[in-house]
Amino acid sequence: MITVAIEIIRASWQVFYESAVYMLFGFFIAGILYVFIKPETIGRYLGGGNVRSVFMAALAGIPIPLCSCGVLPAAAGLKRQGADNGATLSFLISTPETGIDSIPLTFALMDPIIALIRPVAAFITAVVAGLLENFSNRRSNSLENFSQLSSSDSNDCGCNSMLLNPGKPMAKPFTAKIVSGLKYAFVDLLGDIGKWFIIGILMAGMITYIIPDALFESYLTNNFIAILVMLIAGIPMYVCATASTPIAAALVLKGLNPGAALVFLLAGPATNVASMSVVSGLLGKKSLVIYLGSIAICSIMLGFFTDMLYYSMGISATAVAGQAAQIIPHFIQMGSAVILGVLLLFGLYQGYSRGRTLFPDIRKK
């Protein structure tokens, strides 16, 4: 038993070691975005019930590192600022499916193709859902649900911070802004998702050690079946974009087709039981059907496209997974792993010491 635990920890450490420098870079960019993105500016472009609002919401959500629970109050804030239902739904999908922290991590643990397809797929899925919502011509009467959402206990993922913070002061000296952004990224945000990232790393280690190399090649040879399995597994599960990446990478290394891995990367972070209940309360049951249907159909179609792309290019996803991480020198990777480990511990400590109060600015309004 001890030997098994040691091997799982060793495999998990390898994933952590390879991803650390990319994680640090992603969180640094997240901190910069926190400083310079003004939520009121975004809010002005997300109203009107037209096509532009949906596209803008999808674009705005792609770089923001929020999970499927943390994005709910953020979307409520945008709706309160005048965003239409389509834009709100679009933001609810594109934001958790990818982020500025998960994109470099996908590049490191998987390959550049998936790293590029992932945000593009998130954008397409979000736009499809948003346009369907706006063109359904449904009158929204859900503004009364904001108070319910604000005080809801369904956000049990432990997320505490939001990139689009309507209460943050903007009139600060440049140096103070940068310090504030770095504190947000490496203390608040890292503390919020750190637990889930560690869980994802440990799950990747378990998959690497326990699952036989030829499992998927033996039992899931049909790519369509593999895609459906990943879709069914991903929809009810809570896993953020960052934590889902090492899990998907480990599955690909065990023979999972890249299209099925992409489906897991899209469906897993975008949906869970808590987010589905809040979407239903915020926008209505019809919007929930559009939300789930768009994610399911777009994920399946984009999964097939991804498999065809790899096949046409003659690339084996298993062979290239994790190769990008090897371009970083060993001493940088080791130093980054140590720094990230210390920051994770400190962020987790800070997160639990300050409690689980979620977005007090929203509750006050």
Residues 139-157 pLDDT 10s: 544 444 444 444 444 445 5
- Quote the CA–CA distance of 149 and 155 in Å, as a whole number: 9
Would residue 13 count as lying in a domain?
Answer: no
Q: Is residue 38 part of a domain?
A: yes
Residue 325 lies in a domain: yes
Task: Flag whether 104 is in a domain.
Answer: yes
The tokens for 326 are 């090897």
Residues with pLDDT less than 50, the chain:
140-155, 161-163, 166-167, 169-170, 356-365
What pLDDT is attached to residue 134?
Answer: 86
Res 351: pLDDT = 62
Structural domain contains residue 146: yes
Residue 64, SS3? coil
User: What is the spatial distance between Cα 38 and Cα 43, in angstroms, rounded to a whole number?
Assistant: 9
At residue 359, the pLDDT reads: 38
Residue 6 lies in a domain: no
* Alpha helices for the chain (secondary structure H): 2-36, 39-44, 51-61, 71-80, 85-97, 102-109, 112-135, 146-150, 174-183, 190-210, 215-219, 223-234, 241-253, 258-270, 273-283, 285-313, 317-320, 330-353, 360-364
Domain that holds residue 232: 23-364
- Structure tokens of 78? 């945008």
Q: What is the pLDDT of residue 363?
A: 34
Q: What is the pLDDT of residue 323?
A: 62
- Give dist(CA 259, CA 11) in Å, integer: 24
Q: How many domains does the chain have?
A: 1
Q: Does residue 143 belong to any structural domain of this protein? A: yes
Phi, psi of 225 (to 5 degrees): -65, -40
- Residue 259, pLDDT score: 93
**Closest to 268 in 3D by CA, of 303, 228, 233:** 233
Q: Is residue 234 part of a domain?
A: yes
Report which of 256, 248, 259, 252 is spatially closest to residue 308, judged by C-alpha positions. 259
